[in-house]
Amino acid sequence: MIGEELVDALRRVTGVPRLLVACDYDGTLAPIVDDPSAAIPHAPAVAALIGLAELEDVGTAIISGRSRDTLATFVKVPPSVVLIGDHGAWPSDVDSEADQTVAAISEALSAVAADFDGAVVEPKSLGAAFHYRHVSDKDQASAAARAVASRFGARVIEGKQVVELVLGEGDKGAAIRSLQVRESYDCIVFFGDDVTDEDAFAVLGDDDVGVKVGDGPTLARYRVSDPVEVAQSLEILLAERRALTR
């Protein structure tokens, strides 16, 4: 059940002239699963997000650690829902040999994965992710993956039992702030569950609404338990905003 404080906050922000609603994907719009390739979105959450995108003066976005192309295969949304991959990183400082470097990162991480039973490497457009959820010696596996970064000048982004090596710069906080400035949104609502979502919570202002999904320390002022409650929150936003336009 969503807390009354969050319900009140969601109702408050629906009255602003221009509203941005953004969500992480894994663990937020979709439950966390053992196999990253099987992360099916919670349909009511996506439906509510699409409904919000159809309203005047409401922007929506999904900001994920997955590549944008991979994200698009999981969640079928219209162009009005902005898809941002690679944790919001952009390749502005990546040289002309970036494609070769990305391939080399995936290859190097695959070599590491061969030493750890259960490890999985997920190639991405600006690097690769090393998943070690099913590895017995998690500390050693994550350390071995992080050690690869220095060979390629890649950034290390750590999430829930995953180490990602990423080229370029930027994060979810920079991505969400860029959307706000570009489209002149008055208020932001952001849902996220992972360590990387803290970058987005960190840039939210006093009038914005940050919602942590699940347990763990966070900068967000509000919390829900799972994607089901994310969907309920989005449905409140949708119903309240629709009521204002009638």
Q: Quick one: pLDDT at residue 91?
A: 62
Tokens found for residue 16: 């602003």
CA end-to-end span of the chain: 28
**Can you tell me the mean pLDDT for 228-238?**
98
Length of the chain counted residue by residue: 246
Give domain limits for the chain.
Answer: 4-90+170-245, 98-166
Please give the C-alpha separations between residue 44 and each of 1, 50, 57, in angstroms, as whole numbers.
16, 10, 22
Strand arrangement, sheet containing 127-131: 120-124, 127-131, 162-166, 155-159
- Which CATH code, of 3.30.390.30, 3.40.50.300, 3.40.50.1000, 3.30.360.10, is assigned to 4-90+170-245? 3.40.50.1000
Query: Which tens digit of pLDDT belongs to each residue from 103-142?
Result: 999 999 999 999 999 999 998 888 899 999 999 999 999 9
Lowest mean pLDDT, pick from 9-18, 158-167, 225-234? 158-167
Give one word for 169, left, alpha or beta, with left for phi > 0 and alpha for psi -120 to 50: beta
Residue 30 in 3-state DSSP? strand
Model pTM score: 0.85
Q: Quick one: pLDDT at residue 11?
A: 96
Q: Quick one: pLDDT at residue 88?
A: 86
Residue predicted with more confidence, 42 or 87: 42
**Which of the residues are catalytic?**
24
Residues forming a β-bridge with 118 = none
CATH architecture of the domain with residue range 98-166:
2-Layer Sandwich (3.30)
- Alpha carbons 126 and 108: distance in angstroms, whole number: 14
Q: Quick one: pLDDT at residue 33?
A: 83
Q: Quick one: pLDDT at residue 198?
A: 95
What confidence tier does 94 reach under pLDDT thresholds 50, 70, 90? low
CB-based contact 187:19 (threshold 8 Å) = yes
Query: Which tens digit of pLDDT belongs to each residue from 30-71?
Result: 998 878 778 899 999 999 999 999 999 999 999 998 889 889
Cβ-Cβ contacts under 8 Å for 67 (sequence gap 6 or more):
85, 86, 124, 125, 126
Statement: residue 92 has pLDDT above 80: no
CB-based contact 99:133 (threshold 8 Å) = no
